[in-house]
Structure formats: C-alpha cells, structure tokens
Structure 1
C-alpha cells in the first residue's frame, strides 16, 4: 500500500484520483444510470453508491469517535464478514438517486475527508493507535488512519474508474 510523506501529499492524491474518477460520469446519460452489463459488476449508480457509502462511513467513524461514541466498524448494522450485505445496503440507500445527486454527495464527502485530514495532527494521521476506530477495524494488522483514508478514496477511485470505463465502452 502506498505511504505518504505529508497531509498535502495525501490530499493531492485524493483530489487527483477523485477528479479522474468523477469525470468518467460526465457523459453518462441519466437514463442509463441503472443499466447492467454482463462484463461489469456494478451499474454507474451502484458504482457511485459504493463510493458514497464508504466515504460516508469513514467520516462517521471519525465524527463518532470525536463525540465519544463507541465506533463499530464497518458499521453499526454490519460486521466485516457481512460486506456483501453492506454493499447491498449502499445500493439500496444511495443508488436510487440521480447521477448528479450521487456525484454531489461524493464530492462533498471528499471535501470533508480533506478537511478531516487538515484537522488531524500529523501524529493522529500517520502513527498507529491514534484512533480507537482504526484499531478496532483490523483484527491482525495495525493501521494508521491515513491507510483507511487511502483504501476508501485513492484506491477505489482508481479501480472503480477502470470499471466505469469498461462499462462505458460496452454500454455507450
């Protein structure tokens, strides 16, 4: 997994990969947002719903810990061995929205994640055992907060961009 030397480097990578990812939806007509193609596992709406879901959870984990709430990862209603059900919940909760609404919500979440990065100290972001939610989210590994940010932004923006590009080649 990639490491980062500073908050700015992390935020720049998030912004760069996000802009590439989100721009892929610019030429998808709204009436095709739910179109399934055999070669791709998610529709455009499901693709965005997944991203909205994970970024929303990431922000919730941090906000709940700041409020003194015991954080349950990945969510209050799902355990790590229930990710399939969690992804269905993301689809049920978000995919009915328009592509523009989903893009706006994801854009807002990304901006809030960048704000969260600014609010964290370097120690909180780059050292282990600085957030209970980060410690509780992994059973065998010890992850710094920045790794959770990376795997919920930079990494999926890249892999899901590839998926939506493939969807566009087939469906458009």
Structure 2
C-alpha cells in the first residue's frame, strides 16, 4: 500500500491494516498470547502477542496525547516524556509494562477503542490540517499518525503471520 498523502487515504490505510490485524488476532488461542514468541521491538528481545497489542495501544495513546497537547497549545515531548527517539526499545518495554495486567481480550478491546478514537479524531480534521502543513520537524500530522498507526498495524500483521507459519 502506498504511503497516504490525504485524509481519505490515511483513514483507508488505518482501516485496512487494522482489519487485517484483527483477522490475524482472531484465531490465536488465548493460552498462547502471553508466550514470548515474537521478535521484540528492542534488538535481541522477544515479546508476546499481548506485548505486541500493548505496543500498538501505547503508540495510539501517544498519538492522541500529542494531538491533545498540540490543540491545547502545550509543548509536546516527542516521542514521550522521558524518552528520546533513539530509545524506542525502552519505550516499547514501557508499553509492555503499562498494560501487563490486562488479558488478551481486554487488550484487544482497548486497542479497538484506541483505533476508534483515532479514526474519530481524523474525521474531525481537514486534509489541510493533516497534510497541508508541517506539524513536527519536517513531518505533517497525517504522516506522524500514519507512522504510529497504519504502519505498525501492517508490521504487526507480518510478525503474527511469520509466527503462525513457523509454528505449523
């Protein structure tokens, strides 16, 4: 799928990639969701399906936080308060920990709600707000959202499919 350059393309990419992810998650036995079976987000680490979902929730919540702070004319700490861009592995570990008390079903429901809230946010934005002006560094708001929604959903689908293929 091409990189979205409009609001409609971004919404379509999120919906398409998330739909594929939901499909892949739907047939994973719950008793396998806490097993450390996937390559982790930090080099040399492994993660569970639940960790992967936690990671996606974490980035989705950050997207919403960034937008809220920006709308309130407050400074946004990118990528997250206490983390630098070269510490994304540590940030992934934080996300795993943030949601470690939640089971697979609850994590999936929380991710559904996060994605729904992001889609609702996007539907309120104009194409100009999303792609007409730079928002962070050289990136537009639409591109920053895509980096942290549609792209990681697609990546997660690939990780899950690879694991499913290897376990056959």
Question: How far is 1:121 from its partner?
Answer: 2.0
8 Å CA contact 2:129–2:141 kept in 1: the answer is yes
State the SS of the aligned residue for 1:24: helix
Q: Matches of 1:59 and 1:70 in 2, distance apart?
A: 14
Q: Alpha carbon RMSD of aligned pairs, Å?
A: 1.8
1:43 and 1:124 mapped to 2: Cα distance? Answer: 36
Higher mean C-alpha deviation, range 98-107 or range 50-59: 98-107
- Unpaired runs of 5+ residues, structure 2, are 41-46
Tell me how far 1:144 sits from its aligned partner: 0.9
Runs of 4+ with >6 A deviation: none
Within 5 Å, give how 1:138-157 maps onto structure 2: 142-157=138-153
Moved more, 93-102 or 52-61: 93-102
- Can you list the C-alpha shifts for 1:98-146, whole angstroms capped at 9, x where unaligned? 11111111111111111111222221111233x4xx23xxxxxx01111
What residue in structure 2 maps to residue 161 of structure 1?
157
CA distance in 1: counterparts of 2:49 and 2:133, whole angstroms: 36
The answer as to 2:68 corresponding to 1:63 is yes
The DSSP-based 3-state class of the residue aligned with 2:65 is helix
Per the alignment, residue 35 of structure 2 pairs with 35
Structure 2 equivalent of residue 138 of structure 1: none
Question: Greater strand percent: which structure?
Answer: 2
CA drift at 1:31? 1.9
Give the drift of 1:81: 2.0
Corresponding residue pairs, total: 161
Q: Which residue of 2 aligns with 1:76?
A: 81
For 1:1-172, list aligned pairs within 5 A.
Answer: 2-4=3-5, 6-37=6-37, 40-41=39-40, 42-129=47-134, 131=135, 134-135=136-137, 142-171=138-167
* CA positional deviation for 1:171: 4.6
- Tell me how far apart the structure 2 counterparts of residues 166 and 22 of structure 1 sit (CA, whole Å): 16
TM-score w.r.t. structure 2 length? 0.87
Residues of 2 paired with 1:19 and 1:171: CA distance?
A: 23
